[in-house]
Structure formats: C-alpha cells, structure tokens
Amino acid sequence: MPTDKHASETGVTGNQQPKLATVWPGNPYPLGASYDGAGTNFSLFSEIAEKVELCLIDDAGAESRIPLDEVDGYVWHAYLPNISPGQRYGFRVYGPFDPAAGHRCDPSKLLLDPYGKAFHGDFTFGQALFSYDMKAVRPGGDDADPGTPPMVDSLGHTMTSVVSNPFFDWGSDRSPLTPYHETVIYEAHVKGMTQTHPGIPAELRGTYAGLAHPVIIDHLKSLNVTALELMPVHQFMHDSRLLDLGLRNYWGYNTFGFFAPHNQYAANRSSSVAEFKSMVRSLHEANIEVILDVVYNHTAEGNHLGPTINFRGIDNAAYYRLVDTDLRLYKDYTGTGNSLNPRHPHVLQLIMDSLRYWVTEMHVDGFRFDLAATLARELHDVDRLSAFFDLVQQDPIVSQVKLIAEPWDVGEGGYQVGNFPGLWTEWNGKYRDTVRDYWRGEPATLGEFASRLTGSSDLYEATGRRPSASINFVTAHDGFTLNDLVSYNEKHNLANGEDNRDGESHNRSWNCGVEGPTDDPEILALRRRQMRNFWATLMLSQGTPMIAHGDELGRTQNGNNNVYCQDSELSWMDWSLVDKNSDLLAFARKVTTLRKTHPVFRRRRFFEGEPIRTGDEVRDIAWLNPSSREMTHEDWGESIHKCVAVFLNGEAITAPNARGERVVDDSFLMCFNAGEEPVEFVMPNDDYAQEWTVELDTNDPTGDADQVVNAKAKVSLPGHSLLVLRKTM
C-alpha cells in the first residue's frame, strides 16, 4: 500500500498533454509494477541513470511521461493511485551513451520493465529498435563503435509492459511435492505438444489452456509422468535474422521478460497470466508438477549490434558481462551474443526475485536452468561456491523446489557434470552419451554403461547426493528425436538456413544400416527394437528419468537435430502416430508402469555391492557374464564385451519409505546384448532364484512375455536386445 498519505500533484510531460496525474513517492521495493487494489507502485533499478521517466501508454498508443523523482539506492520509484491492471507502460532512461565505458543509455527507446509481469504488442524490427545507425554497419563487420545514436523513437515499434492483476482464485491448489525417486519428467513444448491434437479445440491448440486439456493430462498419466518440464515460457523475442528467413525462435531461449509467461502461448494474449495459473492448477489436480526451463544466462538483446529493448538501455554495465579490455563488447559464454552478470547484486536480485515469483505467485514446482554453468562463473571460471549458489542455498522458498542444472555452457571449463552443489540435480550428459554408445555397439563402453545404469555414483556420491541427482535422458529437445537417433548417422539441418553448419555433428547415433527413411523390413524392425532398448534402459536405470515429448510415438524431425527455429509440423507432435505406432506407445506405458510398480528400479540410495545380512550369499547387486559367473576386472576391461546381466535384489533396499517402513520388492535380472549376434545367457543358480518370469523383452514388439525360466536354464538373447526377468520362486 502507498506509504505517503499526502499525495502531491505532479505534472506529466509528453507529446500529448493529459490532465494532471496523481503521483505519490511510492516505494523502491518490490521492483516492477505492483498493483495493490487501489493503485500501482512502479520502481526501476538503474545505477547509471541521470533521469528516469515512467511512460504510460493509452489505447490509442499515445504516451504520457511522468518523471520518477524519488530515488533510493539507485531504484527510481513512484506510486500512482487509480492505475490498474491492463495499463500499458514503459520507461525512458537518460544517462551516458558511452560504449567505450560500457554505457548505452538512449532515451529515444521506450524500455520494457525487467520485472514486467505481462507484455503487449509485437516488435517491428528496424532502426527504431537500435541505438546505432544500421546503415553505417558494414555487412559482416563487427562495428563495435556505433557512434552517436540516431535517436529514433521506438514507441510503436516495441512491445509495452502491462500492469498485471495479482489476484487469482487458486482454490485448494497445492504442489504435489513428488519425491525425486518417484519422479518421471516429461520435457515438452507448449505449442509443439498441443498444436495438432485433434481432441483439443482449435482455439486452444498451441496454448497453456491446451496443455491443461484432459486429453493431454490423460496422455501424461498413461505414461506415469509426474512432472511436466516446459521449454522456455518466459516472454521471449523472435530474432530478426530468423524472421527474415521466414523462421521463428521456436524453442524460446531468447528471454527479455523473466516474470511474464510468453503471451503467444495464451488463447487470449491479454490474459496470459491467468491462463498460465489455470494450467498449473489443472496439472496439480492431476498430481503433475510443473517445472520451467529458465534462461537466466543471457537475454534477447544479443551482442553490441543487438536491439535496445530493456537491460541494455537501463544499465548496460550492471546487467551484462563486458569484455575487460574492450567494454564495448560482451562476454559470451552462451553462444548468443551476451551473458548476464550475476556478480552484480541487482542482477542476482532479479534472478532470485524471478524464481520466487514463479514459485509463490505462479505455483510452479521447480526449474531447469539452461546453461547453468554460466550462472556459476565468478570472474571467468565456474565456481561452485559462487554467490548465486549461496543465495539459492539459503533461500527458504527457492531451495525447497526442484532445481535441475544443465551443467555446462560454451565457455572454457564450462562442462561441469557432477560438480554442482548438494541441492541440485543435473542433466547427466554422460548418461546420454554412454547409453547411446553402448546400444550402437561401441567398444569399451560396458563398464561405464554399468555405472550409468546404477545411478552414476562416480559423479554424485562423493558430494552427498543420491541416485536421483542424475537426471537420466537419452534424448531431449536439443538433438535427434529417439526415432531419428536410430535412423540417421548425420544431421540434416538445411531447413535452418545455415548450410547444415548448426547443430551437433557428433550425435552418437546409428541408422541401423540406411540413412533416413527405408522400406527394408529388417532395418525397420531393428530400429524399433533399438527404440525399445532405449526406453527400457532409461526407465529401469537408477536416477530420475526424463522423456522427450513425442518419443513415445516415434516422432521424427527428418534428421534435423536443431529445430530451434522450426515452428512447423517438423517440430510439432504428430498425434496420428498414436495409431500408427501404437505398439511403441504401449511399450512405453508398460516400462514406465514397471518402474512405478517396483521400487528396486528407483532406489533412494546407491547400491553397496554387499550382502544385506551376515551370512547371506546374495548382495544387493551382482554383475554376471553370460555364463552366470560374476564379472571380473578382466571382463570389464575387455573392450569387445557387449553383454552383461545384472541382478537387482529387491530384499536389499536399505532406505525406508516416507513412514519409516522397510521397503521390500521383487528381485530382477536384466540381460543386455548390444552386439550383433545372439548370445546364450545361463540363468544364475538357486542362490538367486529357482524360477524367473520374463517381464519385458525388447525383441517382442509389445514387450509382452510370460515365459517361465528355471535356474541354470539357457536363454538365447538376440543381438541388440534386452530381457528383464522377475524372480517368482
């Protein structure tokens, strides 16, 4: 609420002179525009500003400028009674334009609120968005010195911030709080997941409301998904280069509004906040958590030749990491042109305020941090003791939600898998690479495959973390789909307009004999088997599994492993595959149910390789060669070995359940053959089991099998296949 009861009348300046507006001093915190039911408090941080104007935009696009005369700790602020949700606004910041000193203030630019909760309109790319003479830039040149800005007003060419209504009826909403060891993550794109689904009304396709539709929720529940990880939904910009090529920034890793849900994903763009909240509420009712893929490492403003839309014009040197020897230029640890500067307290504040806002106001359940190593860089090196980690650790709100790191960036020393602090889980890139290599038959992969299958203790145990710290995945948005992983050896990205230079070239993929589409029934059968192998391996590994949307349907991107700019059928889920690939979908549902039903596949603690009781012969885990003898050091070191069996003892689960009760499960034997030829596996002796029942067979299109196998019996396992047996006697 406003604190000054003695309102003053302050004149408002602008191209059109409106009537006098009531302006109270207001408060420096919270930052941004905060509506309290009677009026709105506006505040903006800028250490370099000499003057700041709040600009109110009416329905006709006319501007009224209000000087912000109150400044506390470099925060400029005012309270305006009777300003209510829906009011469009922006800021103009007056100060030095001196790129050589790192400053780029340009009052001709209507700047978006870094704390804006909603935005209106679109960008019109042209001179008005840029603080240098675009005609003076040489094609292909860097032109680090822009000269004097041409002072072309951006009003009418840029988006505007919008005062948001904070009030919403959440009812009895609460977070599912699913424990990590029970979590199954499904990575999805709001538009890609819903755009072509025939069961969603046309007006809701591609939207938050579409994602909350019962047909989507039912599909997720059928896969036993407990958490929906959404690709970026913070308000983002489409790059002018892509728009010129007829493309769009489909993935959304180009944020400028860290508090606003992307309004192009709303059925009604003017109610994006309420629609997002309704989506979260519906997913929570289905016991599905919502995790956001967030991009706090860079912004949409790009490098020194990018547009001026907010941070650059507000306080360039505070918000961005600049090159020490040339402050005109930006450090780029992200491959996008700039890097945010989390060493600055107000940038850290923005990140933490944003995270808290999405938890407390939008009710999300966790975050996946894109290129998280960038946030951990203090001077240049990645530092696990950085201020960002300290703030997260002590924050009573952010520290209690799921925190997932993409533990790398593109800078030197940026690959940090296994090195994040104890609160964090990580996308385990080593799991992805190893599992891919193993199933394509690469030599000398068996030992590391065993480590990845059992939770990657070599990466996480020493720092006190559990198997669930490993976010296991075979595919994600970045790279081949699962179908393409078994259908292409090379990327096919010509549609992206970069002459196939973009995207990862070393994909660890195998096309099974022919590049791309084929009618060969043997190759098609092998590809399907390989997809089942990946599904079974992912779901039966210790750790937290993540599914890439559409892999359960055999979705293809025609070999394009970098569809960041493809907002088309190439990237969207093809729901007609539900019928065409019903056997793969049925297998995915079967193996996720197997994981859900049996806690031995989702242990809370690492295996110890020891007997559970004195005198027992059988340990909690045992690795066996095809002859059922325990694997020796020499066996693991033999580069040509591609077969192994692993026994998981369901009676040796040492961690109790949430009520302190002992957990007892069935015991399982998993037999793997990544070689070309069939291998005969001998079942272990009676110490392990007298009788086994086949639960899963990837050589079977449906995975169904009820075959009973006795101890010491021989089972022939075809090449490129996996067999899961359950102890029944």
Helix (H, G, I), strand (E, B) or coil at 291: strand
Indicate if the alpha-carbon torsion angle 324, 355, 158, 9 is positive or negative.
negative
Catalytic residue (one of 53, 63, 229, 406): 406
Indicate if the alpha-carbon torsion angle 308, 309, 314, 315 is positive or negative.
negative
Residue owning tokens 């030197």: 412
Catalytic residue (one of 53, 370, 666, 697): 370
**Residue 579: count of CB within 10 angstroms of its CB:** 9
Is the separation of the CB atoms in 80 and 24 below 8 Å? yes
The CA distance from 382 to 399, in Å, is: 20
113 is an active site residue? no
The CA distance from 108 to 93, in Å, is: 9
Using left for φ > 0, alpha for ψ between -120 and 50, and beta otherwise, residue 9 falls in beta
Is the separation of the CB atoms in 537 and 671 below 8 Å? no
Take residue 36 and report the two structure tokens written for it: 């309290």
182 is an active site residue? no
632 DSSP 8-state letter: P
Which of 303, 288, 308, 423 is CA-nearest to residue 355? 423
Is the separation of the CB atoms in 271 and 260 below 8 Å? no
DSSP for 308-342, please give it: -SSHHHHHHHHHB-EETTEEEEE--SSSSS--B-T
Is the separation of the CB atoms in 160 and 185 below 8 Å? no
Take residue 188 and report the two structure tokens written for it: 């999805």
Residue owning tokens 């088997």: 529
Is the separation of the CB atoms in 476 and 435 below 8 Å? no
Take residue 677 and report the two structure tokens written for it: 């030829």
Query: Checking DSSP bridges between strand 643-648 and strand 234-236, what pairing results, if any?
Result: unpaired
In total, the chain counts a number of residues equal to 729
As annotated, the active-site residues are 370, 406
